[in-house]
């Protein structure tokens, strides 16, 4: 199954994934059919929200990174550090041979420039990551702290006051302290709200 993660276009061709898709289709169809036949309206709730309806201690936060740490910059830093090691070896060889003083001086200058470049790049990467960790949301796309929705309950309550019987079927997200293989970050949930109803 690990190969399917690397080649997701092959997933539906496996019998297990195809069976799950068919079962899921039947469940979704039956859920909508039941609520529609009982006079409920299906309303779509936002996936990104600023509310924490269930008071989860750990939520999945959504943020845009205006100045993200570039993977290319990190790769460049690794390349420069590898070059510094090579230059250091070359300098040691030149020192031992003691034959070409001019080549040694040029090699030392190159090493110094490479060290300066590596320090600048390292400083940039650390300052960028520190900036991202700050609790400043003014530059965030949303202008405040927002999360992937853990429940559509609060939104559904406001719709129920207007439309009476409503339901929502969609993904909800929550972060748990449990190991990832034992918990789901995303799950699909049916949530229902009724207003002004007399239940027999």
Look at 3 and 35; give whichever has higher pLDDT: 35
* Burial (Cβ within 10 Å: 0-12, 13-18, ≥19) of residue 155: buried
Confidence tier at 21 by pLDDT (50, 70, 90): very high
Beta bridge partners of 172: 187
Q: What is the pLDDT of residues 75-93, one digit of tens each?
A: 777 888 888 888 888 888 8
- Is the pLDDT at 96 greater than 90? The verdict is no
Q: What is the pLDDT of residues 43-67, one digit of tens each?
A: 998 888 887 766 655 778 887 765 5
Mean pLDDT of the chain: 80
Phi, psi at residue 143, to the nearest 5°?
80, 0
Look at 191 and 127; give whichever has higher pLDDT: 191
Domain ranges (residues) in the chain: 35-63+148-200, 71-133
Look at 4 and 116; give whichever has higher pLDDT: 116
Would you state the pLDDT for residue 69? 54
Q: What whole-number distance in Å separates Cα of residue 200 and Cα of residue 195? A: 14
Confidence tier at 165 by pLDDT (50, 70, 90): very high
Would you state the pLDDT for residue 54? 60
Q: How far is CA 104 from CA 86, 110, 161, in A?
A: 14, 10, 81
Look at 118 and 53; give whichever has higher pLDDT: 118
Q: How far is CA 48 from CA 9, 34, 82, 142, 175, in A?
A: 28, 27, 43, 10, 15
Beta bridge partners of 165: 194
pTM as predicted: 0.58
Using an 8 Å Cβ cutoff, are 36 and 169 in contact? no
């Amino acid at each position: 199954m690990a190969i399917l993660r690397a080649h997701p276009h092959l997933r539906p061709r496996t019998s297990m994934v195809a069976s799950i898709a068919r079962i899921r289709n039947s469940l979704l169809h039956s859920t909508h059919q039941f609520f529609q036949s009982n006079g409920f309206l299906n309303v779509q709730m936002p996936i990104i929200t600023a509310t924490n309806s269930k008071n989860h201690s750990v939520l999945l936060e959504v943020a845009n990174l205006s100045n993200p740490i570039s993977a290319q910059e990190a790769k460049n830093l690794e390349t420069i550090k590898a070059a510094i090691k090579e230059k250091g070896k070359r300098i040691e060889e030149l020192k031992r041979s003691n034959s070409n003083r001019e080549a040694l001086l040029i090699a030392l200058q190159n090493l110094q420039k490479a060290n300066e470049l590596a320090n600048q790049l390292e400083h940039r990467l650390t300052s960028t990551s520190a900036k991202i960790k700050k609790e400043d949301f003014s530059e965030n796309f949303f202008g405040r702290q927002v999360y992937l929705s853990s429940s559509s309950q609060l939104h559904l309550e406001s719709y129920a006051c207007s439309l009476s019987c409503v339901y929502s079927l969609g993904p909800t997200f929550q972060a748990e302290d449990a190991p990832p293989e034992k918990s789901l970050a995303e799950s699909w949930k049916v949530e229902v709200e009724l207003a002004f109803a007399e239940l027999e």
